[in-house]
């Protein structure tokens, strides 16, 4: 494409979709500003700083790493939300609390494993008030047991919820299902609060720190998150592309009626959607706690909107979109700090969510549904 064509294409875009045009200008400004900031200079116009400031490469890299880590866990949790959104066709507001449930199940299992054989009261082993904090390098086995428990336990939870709540109303419109999920969210969140209390507990802290560059370090827990989420994403990809079930799921996300008449056992696909989505949500929650170190009964609920943002930015129904959207939202959440005061970075992530819904509801990674 020649320059003239690009220019005329750009002009056409600016006229037909002014929102997109404005967005492009804003993004361009941010990129230029970032580069100028990295070079350490400031460009002034009439005494007002136009672009620039100061930002070290090290702090940019560590922001990128932070964003990537949170984004991967959010993306992992988002896969389940994206799948239920496209296959069962409703926005599941209980997904955040599913994430919490997975984290609690996983960390209880990790805590029990870590204290196996120790002379401690059950309440001390089972609950998180003892101040025990695990790291991936120093307590690898408990962390792994917790990971598996988070996946398996959450599957149990979501299957039970589906049986009790959503199955009796299969085929209901998406707003009814959405409201039911609000009920599930409340019940699940406060059941967790009933059992574990409403305090925030520290459960994980890193035991090893690797200095990669000056100003950029990564901990064992962060590496564990990186490794686990990356391998799970590859696993999900293989599952959807290579197995018959994966194809059936993709078909159903595309058109449920058509899938049913071609003989796809929809109820089985629905169950598998919950299993896969639940397991990934549980692991996502478990990893988020591994990264942040603390756990509380409503941390998944608080992050739900962030997960929604990931799913919507990536395109509802697209599993790769959820992963990429997660990373993108994670990066926005952490990189926004370059331009915005710390109190408003989360607001920036939500603003991205709104902008995407308004300008491109099919997500920025194209309108391709499901994988």
Partner 1 sequence: MSALDDAWDRADRLPDAVLVAGYIVALWLVLAAVAAAVGGQQATNLAAGFVGSVTLLIGAYALLTLALNLQWGYTGLFNIGIAGFMAVGAYTTAILTAPVNPSTAGGVPGFGLPLWVGLPGGMVAAAVVGAVAALPALRLRADYLAIVTVALSEIIRLFVNWRGAQEVTYFGQTFGTGGATGIGFKSPRRVVADLVTGVGQPVVSAAESIGVSAPNVVNIAYGLGLLALVAASFWLLNRLVESPFGRVLKAIREDETVTQSLGKDTRLFKIKAFMIGCALMGLAGALFRGNAGYISPAQFRPTVTFYVFAALIIGGSGSNTGSILGAATFTALLFYLPARLGENLPTFGASSPGNIVDAVSPLGVLNPGPLVAYVAGNVSTLRFVLIGVVLVYIIQNRPVTPMSEPDTAEPASATTTDVPTTSDAVDAPLLEVDGLRKEFGGVTAVDGASFRVAPGSLTGLIGPNGAGKSTTFNCITGIHEPTGGTVRFDGQDVTGLASHTLANRGLVRTFQIARELSEMTVLENVMLAPPGQRGESAARAVLPGLRDQVREAEREVVETAWETLDFFEIAHLAHENAGSLSGGQRKLLEMARVLSTDPEMVLLDEPLAGVNPTLEEKLLDRIDELRRDGLTFLLVEHDMDVIMRHCEHIIVMHQGQVLAEGDADTIQSDERVLEAYLGGDV
Site residues (vs partner 1, CB under 8 A): 90-91, 121-123, 126-127, 129, 164-165, 168-169, 172-176, 178-180, 182-191, 193-198, 305, 308-309, 312, 341, 343-344, 346-347, 350-351, 353-354, 357-358, 361
Closest distance of CB 224 from partner 1, Å: 29
For 219, the enclosing helix (H) or strand (E) is: strand 216-219
Among residues 238, 204, 23, the alpha carbon closest in space to that of 103 is found at: 204
* 191 vs 213 by CB, closer to partner 1: 191
Quick one: 128 or 286, whose CB is closer to partner 1?
Answer: 128
Number of neighbours of residue 218 by Cβ within 10 angstroms: 17
How far apart CA 299 and CA 304 sit, in angstroms, is 9
What does the alpha-carbon distance between residue 184 and residue 157 come to, in Å, rounded to a whole number?
11
State how far the Cα of 185 lies from the Cα of 188, in Å rounded to an integer.
5
Spatial separation of the C-alpha atoms in residues 243 and 73, rounded to whole Å: 25
Task: Quote the least distance from Cβ 212 to partner 1, whole Å.
Answer: 32
Calpha distance 33→357 (Å, rounded): 26
State how far the Cα of 40 lies from the Cα of 34, in Å rounded to an integer: 10
Q: Which is nearer to partner 1, 263 or 343 (CB)?
A: 343
In the bound state with partner 1, the residue whose beta carbon lies nearer, of 47 and 343, is 343
Tell the smallest beta-carbon distance from residue 97 to partner 1 (Å): 10
- In whole angstroms, the minimum distance from the beta carbon of 277 to partner 1 comes to 18
Residue 121 C-beta: closest distance to partner 1, Å = 8
As given in the structure block, the two tokens for residue 206 are 């890193």
Q: Are 81 and 95 in contact, with CB atoms under 8 Å apart?
A: yes
Instruction: State the minimum distance, in angstroms, from the CB of residue 22 to partner 1.
Output: 13
- 18-39 vs 3-16: helix axis angle to the nearest 10? 120
CA angle 156, 317, 308 (to 5 degrees): 75
- Residue 128 vs 272, nearer CB to partner 1: 128
Q: Is 211 helix (H, G, I), strand (E, B) or coil?
A: strand
Distance, C-alpha 104 to centroid of its chain:
17
Q: Which is nearer to partner 1, 160 or 212 (CB)?
A: 160
The answer for residues whose C-beta is within 8 angstroms of residue 160's C-beta and 6 or more apart is none
d(CA 56, CA 50): 19
Q: How open is the CA angle 309-176-174, to the nearest 5 degrees?
A: 50
Q: Which is nearer to partner 1, 30 or 126 (CB)?
A: 126
Q: From the CB of 60, what's the least distance to partner 1, in Å?
A: 23
Closest to partner 1 by CB, 59 or 190: 190
- CA-to-CA distance for 319 and 84, rounded, in angstroms? 11
Q: How far is the CB of 8 from partner 1 (least distance, A)?
A: 21
Indicate the residue among 178 and 216 with the shorter CB distance to partner 1: 178
Minimum separation from the CB atom of position 124 to partner 1 (A): 9
Please, what is the minimum distance in Å from the beta carbon of residue 110 to partner 1?
17
Q: Which residues contact 20 (CB under 8 A, 6 or more apart)?
A: 13, 359
- Of the two residues 4 and 15, which places its CB atom closer to partner 1 in the complex? 15
């Amino acid at each position: 494409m020649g320059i003239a064509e690009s220019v005329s294409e750009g002009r056409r875009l600016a006229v037909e979709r002014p929102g997109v045009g404005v967005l492009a200008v804003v993004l361009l400004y941010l990129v230029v500003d970032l580069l100028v900031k990295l070079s350490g200079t400031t460009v002034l116009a009439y005494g007002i700083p136009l672009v620039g400031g100061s930002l070290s490469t090290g702090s940019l890299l560590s922001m990128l790493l932070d964003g990537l880590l949170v984004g991967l866990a959010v993306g992992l949790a988002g896969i389940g939300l994206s799948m239920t959104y496209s296959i069962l066709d409703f926005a599941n507001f209980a997904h955040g609390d599913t994430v919490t449930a997975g984290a609690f199940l996983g960390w209880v299992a990790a805590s029990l494993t870590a204290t196996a054989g120790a002379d401690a009261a059950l309440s001390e082993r089972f609950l998180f008030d003892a101040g025990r904090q695990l790291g991936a390098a120093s307590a690898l086995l408990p962390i792994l047991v917790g990971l598996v428990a988070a996946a398996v336990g959450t599957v149990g939870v979501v299957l039970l919820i589906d049986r009790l709540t959503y199955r009796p109303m299969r085929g209901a419109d998406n707003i009814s299902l959405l409201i039911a999920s609000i009920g599930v969210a409340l019940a699940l969140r406060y059941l967790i609060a009933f059992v574990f209390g409403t305090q925030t507990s520290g459960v994980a802290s890193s035991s090893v720190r690797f200095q990669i560059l000056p100003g950029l370090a990564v901990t064992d827990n962060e590496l564990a998150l990186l490794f686990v989420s990356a391998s799970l994403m590859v696993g999900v990809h293989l599952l959807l592309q290579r197995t018959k079930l994966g194809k059936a799921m993709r078909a159903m996300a595309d058109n449920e009626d058509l899938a049913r008449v071609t003989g796809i056992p929809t109820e089985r696909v629905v169950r598998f959607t919950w299993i896969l989505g639940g397991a990934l949500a549980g692991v996502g929650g478990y990893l988020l706690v591994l990264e942040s170190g603390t756990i509380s009964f409503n941390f998944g609920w608080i992050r739900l909107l962030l997960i929604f943002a990931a799913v919507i930015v990536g395109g509802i129904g697209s599993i790769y979109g959820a992963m990429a959207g997660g990373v993108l939202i994670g990066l926005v959440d952490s990189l926004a700090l370059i331009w915005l005061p710390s109190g408003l970075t989360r607001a920036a992530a939500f603003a991205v969510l709104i902008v995407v819904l308004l300008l491109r509801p099919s997500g920025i990674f194209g309108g391709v549904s499901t994988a």
